[in-house]
Amino acid sequence: MAEVLSGSTRARVGFIGLGNVGGKLAGSLLRNRFELVVRDLDTGAMAPFLEAGASTAGSGAELAERCDVVITCLPSPAAVASVLEGPDGVLAGFGSGQAPAPKIWAEMSTTDHHEVRRLGALVEAAGGAAIDCPVSGGCHRAATGNISIFAGGERDTFEAMLPLLVTMGRRILHTGPLGSASILKVVTNYLATANLVSLCEALATSQAAGMDLATTYEAIRISSGNSFVHETESQVILNGSRDINFTMDLVCKDIGLFADIAAEHGLPLELSPVLVDVFADGAARYGDREWSPNIIRRLEDATGQSVTAAGFPAEIVDDKPEVLGAEVVVRRDPRSP
């Protein structure tokens, strides 16, 4: 299958879900001259793509019939299942016609690995191939094609998808079989959430102790306490916008998926339940669609503080040039079989 997306003829790509992340990933494909067919419940989200030369389809089935690859990037496992299995859904389009090579379903949502495998089996039964390829690194990097992408699936499916993946992302990691990318994605989102909550506590404590917050930011940045989350989310916290293009309901979903994996394997985690409770409380207080860095408001409300400082941006913009991505090679012991 590796030749499906190679050579002089580019794949026709269907993209379903043009939200905060999906719209930016689809934009990278269109910007790099892939033929794109888009669908979204929000017709306003589709408008700029249609104006830029993309087309749309009347149903998921029609989109799948017309495309070599169907990408989904949706907010929940239930939404993905509905798009694939619903009336006139994507699966119906996979089973139609005689394609020269198997069509590929690429799941780019952050979702449940069991559900990916269940739907992947249905795709394969319909004659297609499946790969899960969630992204990591923030919406600002998705916008410029510089985000990281995990990809789980058969090696030949991965290689067939690689021309698309290196267009949407900078670092591409083949994680193993279908579903493995979804596991690692929620693991990394869990870590980012733990880092966010600890940074909120660090910033609030520093301010309460009389530290200048701009100086505090730099102290963390040049120290062993630095992180990607600090260099991005701490800045929009201090600005006061708290706009990182990621909402509390999505955090709740992701850390809930992580907790489910741990529970399935009998791990007695201690920090995970605390984070679940913290964000459940934040979503209840401030709304599911509140920006996730505004979890710091729990501390601000409790203390009367305003954890802000002048000189920080309202949003994070990727200033790195767009370049073609590449596969990350996993280091292994050469003595291993």
319 found inside a domain: no
Average pLDDT over residues 255-264: 98
Each residue of 65-89: pLDDT tens digit?
Answer: 999 999 999 999 999 999 999 999 9
Report which secondary-structure segment, H or E, holds 72.
Answer: strand 69-72
99 shares its domain with 20: yes
Pairing mode of beta strands 12-16, 69-72: parallel
For residue 287, is it within any domain? yes
- Residues 170, 211, single domain; the answer is no
How many distinct structural domains can be found in the chain?
A: 2
Query: Per residue in 4-46, pLDDT tens?
Result: 454 435 789 999 999 999 999 999 999 999 999 999 999 999 9
Produce one character per residue of 99-113: b if its CB has 16 or more CB atoms within 10 Å, e if not. eeebbbbbbbbbbbb
Are 49 and 165 in the same domain?
A: yes
Predicted confidence at residue 331, as pLDDT, reads 87
Average pLDDT of the chain to the nearest whole number: 94
Condensed to tens digits (0 to 9), the pLDDT of residues 266-321 reads 999 999 999 999 999 999 999 999 999 999 999 999 999 999 999 999 999 998 88
CA distance 122 to 1: 19
CATH at 279: 1.10.1040.10
Q: Is 1 a domain residue?
A: no
- Residue 231 domain boundaries: 184-303
Neighbours of 157 (CB within 10 A): 24
Q: Which of 147, 178, 209 is the last residue of a domain?
A: 178
Token reading at 330? 């996993």
Residue 81's CATH number: 3.40.50.720
Rounded to the nearest 10 degrees, what angle do helices 248-264 and 271-286 cross at? 150
Does pLDDT of 113 surpass 80? yes
In a domain, 89, yes or no: yes
Q: Does residue 130 share a domain with residue 223? A: no
Q: What is the DSSP letter of 292?
A: G
H helices of 52-112, in order, are 60-66, 77-85, 90-94
pTM listed for this prediction: 0.94
